[in-house]
Amino acid sequence: QVQLVESGGGLVQAGGSLRLSCAASRSIFSSYGMGWYRQAPGKQRDLVARITPGGMTTYTMSVKGRFTISRDTAKRTLYLEMNNLKPEDTAVYFCNVAGTSAPLPWGQGTQVTVSS
């Protein structure tokens, strides 16, 4: 089984930036699409960014132009660069496979809090 560990969250003022990291215990990025998800209190977990094995990226409308998903296959690490953060971005952020396959077990995520 592959383990995924998120890090890099924190408290930031609106308009600020953060870079999240997701470390995978095995090399999977060449075979599986990967995504960043987020879940705010009382809301469902939503996919916000995805990258295919070939490097194609997609974003949900609310983060398009502000967030960038990338990967370093050799380091087995997925990244999410977040710029111009808004209070509505406040959530716990998770990484996981993104596609038709079943997700891996969810990790603890990393908290992102954006103050106004």
Mean pLDDT of 56-74: 97
Who's near 102: CB < 8 A, 6+ residues apart? none
Q: List pLDDT tens digits, range 5-30.
A: 999 999 999 999 999 999 999 988 88
Please give the pLDDT value at position 30: 84
81 close to 93: Cβ distance less than 8 angstroms: no
Mean per-residue pLDDT, 62-75: 96
Structure confidence at residue 49 (pLDDT) = 98
Q: Which of 84, 77, 6 lies closest to 39, judged by CA?
A: 6
pLDDT tens digits, one per residue of 73-107: 999 999 999 999 999 999 999 999 998 778 899 99
